[in-house]
Chains A and B, each alone.
Chain A
Amino acid sequence: MKDDQSYIAEMTGRYIWAVVKHLPAKGRSDIETELRGLIEDMLAERAGGGQPSPKDLDVVLAELGAPYDLAQKYIAQDRYLIGPQLFPKYWLVLRIVLAAEIAGLTLAAILTAVLGGTAGIGAFAEWLANLCVGTAVAFGFVTLFFALAERQGGRLRRQLIHQDWKLSELPPVPPGKSRIPRAGPIAGIIFTVLVMILFGWFPGLLGAWLPHDGWRVVPIFDAAVLNARLPLLFLSFTLGLVQEIAELMEGRYTLRLMWVTLGTDAASLLLSAAVFLDGRIFNPHMTQDLAAAGIHLNEAGWVLQHFGAFLVAIILFAFVLEMATSLWRTLRYRDAGQ
């Protein structure tokens, strides 16, 4: 009997502690006393006037449910780090900050390499390490800022959530065909960055991959000349990135997007021509290297001698196609939804 009572006292104490430990110190003892009274009342009812048994206590506590859930009900407000109202803004800001941070660090690494700092695998590892730290810091700061806004509420939070709008200022819905699906420019940005990394840090990978004693790569480019022309090449890629980002932000074909496209494409084209038309950028020993790998070009050899011209022709074709498409789509759709 005495054991029963000490079990009941012990378990009641444990349960109440498991609840109130989640609660703010203020009001804790109040809730503690009230809960103890409640458990005693519930026990007395179950026992019907007699002595409650440990089993009665088990039933009563099971009925009250998990201590953590009960504590949550006392706290009443949802415990978010960043709630659903703030989340869309948080997500938007986070993406912009991360994109800027990654772009900035990448640009810095590129400039360092171009200006004769470290290059190659060491620079790549350094860039990667910077990226890891930078991303963690940016992520932390943005999250902290929004978590504070969520917690403190007040003017900051209202400004973040409040969206003033006027019916008259809602932009018209762009007709379906004048919209640019986001996937296009996003894929373009990713592809461009990858190509930049390839040219900037792993030019040796650009070549003919031949299955010869494992894999043997016959490089297309002359490493030294390519390195010297990298700034031009990267400028060309950066212009491409500008065009993709403009497309992403504009979201539909407009006149100003067309001018950006025409301008960046024309400049990129000239830069590509400057980089590739002068044949010295290509591996001068290509024919011999290929022969050493067991590939004899014979009649096809002339392709190699005019490789630069071919490359520029392909690039020219791609740019002209893009410029023509942009021109045509803009002129066709720009009036609708302006």
Chain B
Amino acid sequence: MDSAQELVLQLDQELRRGTLVLSVLSRLSSPQYGYSLVQELEQRGVGIDASTLYPLLRRLEKQGLCEASWETGGAKPRKYYRRTALGDEVYGVLHQHWKTVVENMERLLGEESGNEG
């Protein structure tokens, strides 16, 4: 039982890891800073640790998918991220791929449960 739970936990994590970039990119059409992104994704049922998101944002910035700018006018300095043109393009394509993946997976898993039933 324990090992099944452990395996589920581990596989579940792998499953989510693949969706992280898409989730984050989807929220960056307007500028967001790290913690607001954590909260927004959390509210929409996509939990992500700040310790995962912050390094991820930097990676996306390095890859040119989003750009960052420091906002120093408020009480504390915040780094805002938003998608670049490249980010828009990549996000658009990935979004389409995601739809296909979901359709195919739904069909696949539907057949499987059909066989079982």
Contacts and interface: CB of A to CB of B under 8 A. Distances in A.
Interface string B79-108: 100000000000000000000000000000
Nearest to A70: B51
B50 A33 contact: no
Interface in A35-88: 35-38, 40-42, 45, 63-65, 69-70, 73-74, 76
Contacts of A33: 70, 77, 79
Contacts of A335: none
A37 B55 contact: no
B27 interface: no
A31 interface: yes
B50 A37 contact: no
A34 interface: yes
A74 B55 contact: yes
A35 B78 CA distance: 10
Contacts of B55: 70, 73-74, 76
B35 A42 contact: yes
A38 B35 contact: yes
Contact of A37 (B39, B49, B56, B77): B77
Interface in B1-51: 33-35, 39, 49-51
Contacts of B50: 38, 42, 63-64
B59 A76 contact: yes
Most chain B Cβ neighbours within 10 Å, of A31, A33, A34, A65:
A34
Contacts, number: 48
Contacts of A31: 54, 58
Given A38-B34, A38-B35, A41-B35, A73 B76 contact: no
Interface string B52-67: 1011101100000000
**Chain B interface, DSSP helix/strand/loop, else mixed:** helix
A37 B78 contact: yes
Given A63-B49, A65-B51, A73-B52, A37 B58 contact: no
A73 B51 contact: yes
A37 B51 contact: no
B51 A34 contact: no
A74 B57 CA distance: 10
A228 B55 CA distance: 72
Contacts of B78: 37
A302 to B, nearest CB: 71
Contact of A35 (B39, B49, B54): B54
Contacts of A42: 35, 50
A40 B50 CA distance: 13
A27 B39 CA distance: 25
B76 A34 contact: no
A34 B52 contact: no
A264 to B, nearest CB: 55
B42 to A, nearest CB: 11
Given A65-B49, A73-B55, 9 more contacts: A30-B79, A31-B54, A34-B79, A37-B33, A37-B76, A37-B79, A38-B50, A38-B54, A70-B55
15 contacts: A27-B58, A33-B79, A34-B79, A37-B35, A37-B79, A38-B35, A42-B35, A63-B49, A63-B50, A64-B51, A65-B49, A70-B51, A73-B56, A74-B55, A76-B55
Interface of B: 33-35, 39, 49-52, 54-56, 58-59, 70, 76-79
